[in-house]
Amino acid sequence: MPIAAGFEDSEFSVLRDRLSAAGHHLVLLGARAGEKVTGRKGSVSVVIDAAAQRLDPDDYDAMFISGGQAADALRLNRALVAFVRRFMATGKPVAAICYGPQLLIEADAVSGRTVTSWPSVRTDLVNAGADWVDASVVQDGNLVTSRRPDDLEAFCTALLGKLASASSASP
């Protein structure tokens, strides 16, 4: 999970808890390993596990991009954007909620894809070549997107379904 200060607290916490309950381990990626970052509401603080420039997409099963102000800040990290681009090319599950698709735009990963997001990101997605729809969750191949924290239940269910399908398909 790419993360920076200002992430949406509930989107991080709910997905972390759901992934953990399903036996998955969340690795936090950012500018500097060991850096402590806090959510935009201040209720959650986490420590970044790994710096993006040292990562290999083959070492991970899926990617989750939270919303909040973090997504916009992450767009400025060239190593992280390059990692997201390489990860998208693997075909492994990628999930982005709320403002999270901003990072996918920066990685040139939405052209020709059907997605959703927080409403204010719509024009940016359309300008990047995506087909934007207003739905609680949208699945397009390996990509899962949602609009807002109210969509977390459907979003988590869709991502966990993608993870289950991916693990049953691997040898």
- Residues classed as catalytic: 98
Q: What does residue 22 show for φ and ψ, rounded to 5 degrees? A: -90, 5
Tell me the HSE value of 138 on the side-chain side, using a 13 A CA sphere. Answer: 22
Beta-carbon count within 10 A of 151 CB: 19
Contacts of 92 (CB under 8 A, 6+ apart): 57, 60, 61, 62, 63, 142, 166
Beta strands 143-146 and 137-140: pairing type?
antiparallel
Cα-based angle 2, 141, 149 (whole degrees, multiple of 5): 50
DSSP 170: -
Amino acid identity, residue 95? A
CA end-to-end span of the chain, whole Å?
25
Tokens encoding 125: 């997605």
